[in-house]
Amino acid sequence: MAIVGYARVSTEDQSLDVQVGQLKAAGCEKIFSEKASGSKSDREQLNALLDYVREGDTVICCKMDRIARSTKHLLDIVDELRNQKIAFRVLNINLDTTTPDWKANAHNAWRHR
C-alpha cells in the first residue's frame, strides 16, 4: 500500500516546493507534480497518477483545487479512486474518503474556498 501525492501549480514561474514539502510530511512515497492550468481537463501527471495507483493505496493533495476543476470533477476523481478501493485525502481541509461524511465535507469545502 503506497501513499501517493499530487502537486500542481498553474504557471511555469510558480514553485511546487511548498506542496511537495507538505506531501512528503504527510508520508507520500511518490509524488506526481506538474505545472499546468487547472482548467485543462487532460493533465499528464494527474493521468499518470491515476494509472499508477492500485487497490489499498492512498492519494493525497494539499488543496482540492490542485487536483480538480470543480466539485463535479473532484467527485468524478474520487468515485474513480473509490471504485478501485483507493483512499483520497485533502490536507488543508482534512478531507478523507475513508470517513463516512467525506462527500458532504467536499461539497461544503468547495463552496467556502
The residues assigned a catalytic role are 10
CA atoms within 13 A on the CB side of 44: 4
Across the strands, what pairs with 89?
A: 60, 96
Residue with cell 501513499: 3
Pick from 45, 35, 34, 33: nearest CA to 13 = 35
Tell me which DSSP letter residue 1 carries. -
Pick from 79, 57, 82, 53: nearest CA to 68 = 79
